[in-house]
A and B are shown apart, each in its own frame.
Chain A
Amino acid sequence: MAIRERLSGNEAVAYAIKQINPDVMPAFPITPSTEIPQYVATYIANGEIDTEFIHVESEHSAMSATLGACAAGARALTATSSCGMALMWEELYVAASDRLPIVLALVNRALTGPININADHSDSMGARDSGWIQIYAESNQEVYDNFLQAFPIAEHKDVQLPIMICQDGFITSHGVENILLVEDDLVKEFVGERNPEHYLLNPNEKMSVGPYAVSNYYMETKKAQREAMNNAKRVILEMAERFEKMTGRKYGFFEEYCMDDAEYAVVIIGSAAGTCKAAIDEIRQTTGKKVGLLKIRVFRPFPEEEIALALKDMKAIAILDRSEMFSATSGPLGAEVRAALYGVKSQAEVVNYFYGLGGRDITVDDFKVVYDKLEKIAETGEITDMYDYIGLRSR
């Protein structure tokens, strides 16, 4: 029987870490992820787990120590947010190219400029090309469930890639919600032990990690990373299936909410998807309009074909980005989903809106406006604002 609880998103991740009892956690505090290492340190101090906690002097060191521990053969993880991850930048790429199955608990927060501590996806979206698997959560339940699946995905022999488990800063990290926890013994069985084939602390095998790769090797290395990312698609679904057998909770690359007969769809990542669901329920109950939602869970690897097939028959689609990439056109999600639709020759009208930057709230009413706009666009075939903002003050 699942354990009924109420936890914040940070508590849920820390609890998952406690249940997994990993070998090494180097971490440096940064809002809003600070509570995760704080709770883990408490578990260690209380003797509840025997994880080795390493106090480091910066996030650069946190990720360096994590990859060192992982290369040594340990199951290693860290947690961070925003500028903390920016300071890990160099090591993010090293972890991926060295094929180290590290888990990063990322609590999404806007990158500084201007300084801000609230939720948006600029930190992880900036790292979307670093070679990490990225899985996002709508709720505390999802971030907990995703975290339990993280090590089995990353450590799978066909993957061997680092993975970041993302949740929206404060909105889920500090919000308390109902949650169903999995029993310790089931978690232990699901996550298992890490048994790397090669590791630095193996006395029977001498080994070098992270050698210099000249042009003659670099491109082949990148191709191998791509292949692993491709394999991750299959493994992510396999783990989701195993997880469903254990808990009854179903996961995939994305969640389709009311999409069976939908004509107007929103595509979104993260906690705002829940607010969108409430808007859909209201719209369908009051007007019967066929509105739906595609909530991206897995952004890396990007499930291009699957997304395109799910969306291709819509009349109009709004892709909502919680970060800028200053191409002066799309946001990151907008660009990739639109490209995917081109591949299936979809006739859907597509717009790309920015929302929630630096923690700007998005409400049920905001989503109703989005669906109204989509309906109007589909009726008139005219798009006046291909790239627009939700909740922006403007003259």
Chain B
Amino acid sequence: MKNTVEIRWHGRGGQGAKTAALLLADVAFKTGKYVQGFPEYGPERMGAPITAYNRISEDPITVHSNIYEPRFVAVVDDSLLESIDVTAGLAKDGAIIINTAKPMEEIRPLLRGYEGQVTLIDARAISIEALGKNFPNSPMLAAVVAVSGVMEKDAFLSEMRASFLHKFAKKPEVIDGNMKALELAFDAV
């Protein structure tokens, strides 16, 4: 357990927080890690707050509980900050990564006294710049990888390119945009 990085994702139904967690599991798996990616399931309702989780480790993972003391938290939608205690149990030497266009002085007070690292990323703006559409998943994924350091930038990017090549085999035109979104986000944090 000591060598396991635990990450908790907060989003709203339909925004892709679960997909982002599964993507992170995927890419970490491809770099040779043991992974878990799983949602906290309930009735699936568009817009309702949802939670998803990742465990990433050098060793096999047997734990099957949710994550209560994550090292990193990713928030896909800043409107959750007022209703959900997103920093609950978050390690002081960890970090929270929030998708927002707002400045730090507006976000900090919403974090219920969390003293650790806070990283803000405007995933929406990055996505629109790179892809022309608001798909915050890719930039958020890159930001989480960059902040958590669960893998090296080069390995991450090359694995993501390979997986996009597979996923978008019939739409190769979106691959470069997605790769650009990843790089912009990686460098922004």
A and B touch in the complex (CB under 8 A): yes
C-alpha spacing A318/B26, complex, angstroms: 37
B155 within 8 A of A: no
B48 within 8 A of A: no
A124 within 8 A of B: no
C-alpha spacing A317/B34, complex, angstroms: 32
B41 touches A275 (CB 8 A): no
B37 touches A175 (CB 8 A): yes
Task: Name the contact of A178 in the complex, choosing from B29, B38, B41, B43 (C-beta under 8 A).
Answer: B29
A176 touches B64 (CB 8 A): no
**Which single residue of chain B is at the shortest CB-CB distance from A279?**
B63
Task: Name the contact of A6 in the complex, choosing from B25, B62, B65, B68 (C-beta under 8 A).
Answer: B25
Residues of A within 8 A of B36 (CB): 175-177
C-alpha spacing A177/B38, complex, angstroms: 9
A151 within 8 A of B: no
A362 within 8 A of B: yes
A277 within 8 A of B: yes
Which range holds the interface residue count of chain B?
20 to 34
A275 touches B64 (CB 8 A): yes
- Chain B contacts with A in 1-39, Cβ cutoff 8 A: 1, 22, 25-26, 29, 34-39
**Which single residue of chain A is at the shortest CB-CB distance from B34?**
A178
Given A6-B25, A177-B35, A178-B34: A277 touches B41 (CB 8 Å cut-off): no
Given A176-B22, A178-B35: A118 touches B41 (CB 8 Å cut-off): yes
B64 touches A6 (CB 8 A): no
B62 touches A278 (CB 8 A): yes
Residues of B within 8 A of A275 (CB): 62-65
B103 within 8 A of A: no
Task: Name the contact of B63 in the complex, choosing from A176, A359, A364 (C-beta under 8 A).
Answer: A364
Residues of A within 8 A of B169 (CB): none
Q: Can you list, as one digit per residue, whether each of A276-289 has a CB less than 8 Å from chain B (1) or not (0)?
A: 01100110000000
Q: Can you list, as one digit per residue, whether each of A118-143 has a CB less than 8 Å from chain B (1) or not (0)?
A: 10000000000000000000110000
A and B contact pairs by CB, cutoff 8 A, 16 listed: A32-B41, A117-B42, A170-B41, A172-B64, A175-B37, A175-B38, A176-B22, A176-B26, A176-B36, A177-B61, A273-B62, A275-B63, A275-B65, A282-B1, A363-B66, A364-B63
The 7 tightest CB contacts between A and B, nearest first, are A274-B62, A175-B38, A271-B64, A6-B29, A176-B37, A170-B41, A363-B65
Q: Name A residues whose Cβ lies closer than 8 Å to a Cβ of B.
A: 6, 32, 117-118, 138-139, 168, 170-172, 174-178, 271-275, 277-278, 281-282, 359, 361-364
Q: A6-B25, A32-B41 are in contact. List 17 more A-B contacts (CB 8 A).
A: A6-B26, A117-B43, A139-B62, A171-B38, A171-B64, A174-B38, A175-B38, A176-B22, A176-B36, A178-B60, A271-B64, A274-B63, A275-B62, A275-B63, A278-B63, A362-B65, A363-B66
Q: Name B residues whose Cβ lies closer than 8 Å to a Cβ of A.
A: 1, 22, 25-26, 29, 34-39, 41-43, 60-66, 68
